[in-house]
């Protein structure tokens, strides 16, 4: 049953992704805000499709949508790239450059304001990210970044946290809201099979501005990993 439910979800996911992409090509010539709204529509449709599995979600903690902040989100699956974009009212997302190469979808992501990072470009990538983030700050939109720079499985305790989050924190002088979750148990990477359940998302205490690098990084890592470990124990 899980196989057929997962297969049906996959077919619907790609069908609606293709349909929305083609139907919304005219958005490429309209103001950027229309592409952002499309991202919300896409996320809502995916969330409905996840009811087939069924997968739902529970959010705890303060999302602070009325403030301009940097969300540092644990990255375990594609779920958070879609659903949190909707739930957090269209933050500017820091994504890997390769995603912008996806036909149509990549163009719409770019129009929605995504900041693309070339993970092989080193220091120049950080400089580019900071320049684009500084422009974003002027718009009042929050920024969402995945501090480890890649998806990790829930049991992964070795993938390091990258310097990108601190670079944004230091450059923009905005508080960072760490976000823990357990989406990898239900939408695992490298398999189309999905597991029924409730994805838990925890918005943690914001990290105030002005901390030195070492203090900031230790606070970020400890707050996210401790909360993820609690979710891990509950799921196991």
pLDDT digits (tens, 9 = 90+) for 105-151: 777 788 778 998 887 777 888 899 999 999 999 999 999 999 999 99
Distance CA 110, CA 9 (A): 26
Residue with more model confidence, 137 or 29:
137
Query: What pLDDT, on the 0 to 100 scale, is given for residue 110?
Result: 81
Q: What residue ranges define each of the domains in the chain, with the CATH number in brackets?
A: 59-189+201-235 (3.40.1130.10)
> Could you read off the pLDDT of 171-212 as tens digits, one per residue?
999 999 999 999 999 999 889 999 999 999 999 999 999 999
Sheet of 70-73, strands arranged across: 55-61, 197-203, 176-181, 70-73, 143-145, 92-96, 115-117
Burial class (CB in 10 A: 0-12, 13-18, 19+), 11: exposed
pLDDT tops 90 at residue 154: yes
From the CA atom positions of the chain, what is the Rg in Å?
Answer: 17
What does pLDDT average to over the chain? 91
pLDDT tier, 34 (very low <50, low <70, confident <90, very high otherwise) = confident
Position 234 pLDDT exceeds 70: no
Q: What is the structure's pLDDT at 23?
A: 80
42-90: pLDDT as tens digits = 999 999 999 999 999 999 999 999 999 999 999 999 999 999 999 999 9
């Amino acid at each position: 049953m899980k196989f057929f439910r997962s297969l049906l979800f996959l077919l619907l996911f790609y069908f609606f992704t293709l349909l929305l992409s083609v139907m919304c090509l005219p958005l490429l010539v309209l103001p950027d805000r229309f592409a952002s709204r499309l991202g919300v529509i896409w996320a809502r449709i995916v969330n409905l499709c996840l009811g087939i599995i069924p997968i739902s979600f529970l959010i705890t903690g303060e999302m602070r949508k009325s403030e301009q902040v940097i969300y540092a989100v644990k990255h375990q699956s594609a779920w958070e790239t879609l659903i949190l974009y909707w739930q957090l009212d269209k933050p500017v997302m820091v994504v890997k450059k390769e995603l912008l190469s996806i036909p149509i979808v990549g163009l719409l992501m770019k129009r929605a304001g995504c900041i693309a990072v070339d993970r092989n470009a080193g220091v120049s990538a950080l400089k580019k990210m900071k320049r684009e983030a500084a422009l974003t700050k002027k718009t009042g939109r929050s920024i969402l970044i995945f501090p480890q720079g890649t998806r990790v499985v829930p049991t992964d305790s070795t993938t390091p946290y990258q310097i990108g989050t601190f670079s944004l924190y230091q450059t923009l002088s905005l508080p960072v809201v760490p976000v823990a979750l357990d989406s990898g148990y239900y939408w695992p990477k490298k398999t189309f099979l999905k597991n029924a359940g409730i994805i838990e998302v925890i918005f943690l205490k914001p990290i105030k501005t002005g901390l030195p690098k070492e203090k900031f990084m230790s606070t970020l890592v400890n707050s996210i990993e401790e909360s993820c470990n609690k979710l891990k124990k509950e799921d196991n």
